[in-house]
Amino acid sequence: MAAFTLMNDAIMIDSEDEKTDFFDDIRLEESSSVVVFFKRQSSFPAINIGHLGTSVDFHNNGIGMVIIEFVAGTFSQYRQAGCQFITVDALNNPRTVSFYLNNQFNFQTNPDFYSATRRMYRIL
């Protein structure tokens, strides 16, 4: 009824403008020492969900959401691979993008606006 793959990944921030946008989007609410340390980094460990798909017969039954919550829960609770984010390379169509936005993902970059896929992330 559904399938997905997982692999280690990282969010890489290349420029100061991207870094500013990134930190504005994630709205850190931790102590100031954690925020200062976090902002000095230029890459952040992540887990990538790839090839997430459900059978057409099971669309709109919440299976994709359950998979995302399973991955988020597993990597948050057990602190696997030091991950701070979940990433996806979402197909750039309204249905897929809407699905990920509704599941707490944000766009990582804007230059891929017209690409076949959009890089998205979710904080763990």
Q: Is the pLDDT of residue 2 over 70?
A: yes
The residue among 124 and 28 whose pLDDT is bigger is: 124
* DSSP H or E stretch at residue 47: strand 43-54
Q: Is the pLDDT of residue 28 over 70?
A: no
Which three-class secondary structure state does DSSP give residue 91?
strand
Digit-coded pLDDT (tens) for 42-100: 888 999 999 999 999 988 899 999 999 999 999 888 765 678 899 999 999 999 999 99
| Residues 68 and 103: beta-carbon distance below 8 Å | yes
